[in-house]
A = this chain, B = another copy of it.
């Protein structure tokens, strides 16, 4: 039904080879032949089949976006969409398509990510929002499939990464609170399966030491990145440390929970309790009081990841680890 290269060749009175070479801008085709072919192709509305091309060229110009949980209530989606935009935009510029691959995609078909990717002959993958203990993801990384991971420092022959400088980000938060006069500064972290959690904790502890504050284990609480978890963390820390005047949360959503708890127990923010989040999700500027937070360049993370992956694919560049520097956004909660 659709018009093929054969139809164009016939209509233009030339061979298939010539049509292909004319349309793809090769040199060894006469000027008027080329014009004729182009004219005929346009008249016939010829659309070369990307499928057939992929088969013979052995690449699909398609990359997959692997996310552990692309679901309604996944707590990380605020962050991920910013990255998604960046990935999509840059990939489009570079001539690549983006297909979504998630656990729902793979699990429904009872196949691993890797199986999915190789069957679809994806050229590469960008991985984000995954937990380090995801059993399937390691398979992809080990397979030598060209990949870029977001927010996990994994560097190998065919796997690069891009992430925010979380250590520095956490330091920015602590220093800010210290400068505001706080001395008993709590920390509510995300779950341990996230690489960023380790780094943010590291930054918190280093900054505390730099400020000459002794680190008490009771000032820290390990949560799960959710709002409910943030509430719980806030509650626990304040009960254990009545003198605590500031808390740094490893995500904005947890900080929201903190704000909510503070409100529930009648604490004024920032006068009674100061709060700093991490991520700068859109919510944080709408909530009252608006949330001071560590801004991550989400869109840029996406473009950098896309650039790196396509660089590996098209130019054989080596994968690298890229750190993007975060920024403190001071608002009403401090």
Contacts and interface: CB of A to CB of B under 8 A. Distances in A.
Contact of A256 (B2, B99, B286): B286
Interface in A69-108: 70-72, 77, 81-82, 85, 88-89, 92-93, 95, 97-100, 102, 104-105, 108
A150 B82 CA distance: 23
A54 interface: yes
A95 B118 contact: no
Contacts of A52: 55
A47 interface: yes
Given A99-B62, A99-B99, A121 B50 contact: yes
Nearest to A96: B105
A112 to B, nearest CB: 11
B99 A85 contact: no
A118 B1 CA distance: 12
Nearest to A227: B286
Interface string A37-63: 000000000011111101100001010
B92 A105 contact: yes
Contacts of A54: 51
Contacts of A51: 51, 54-55, 60, 120-121
Given A49-B121, A50-B119, A52-B55, A70 B88 contact: yes
A119 B72 contact: no
A77 B81 CA distance: 9
A104 B104 CA distance: 27
Contacts of A256: 286
Contact of A287 (B97, B102, B105, B287): B287
Nearest to A77: B81
A213 interface: no
A193 interface: no
A99 B98 contact: yes
A241 interface: no
A89 to B, nearest CB: 5
A226 to B, nearest CB: 14
Interface of A: 2, 47-52, 54-55, 60, 62, 70-72, 77, 81-82, 85, 88-89, 92-93, 95, 97-100, 102, 104-105, 108-109, 115, 118-121, 256, 282-283, 286-288, 299
29 contacts: A47-B115, A47-B118, A47-B119, A48-B119, A49-B55, A49-B119, A50-B120, A51-B54, A51-B120, A55-B55, A70-B88, A70-B89, A72-B299, A77-B81, A81-B81, A88-B100, A88-B102, A88-B105, A92-B102, A98-B99, A99-B99, A256-B286, A282-B283, A283-B283, A283-B286, A286-B286, A286-B287, A287-B288, A288-B288
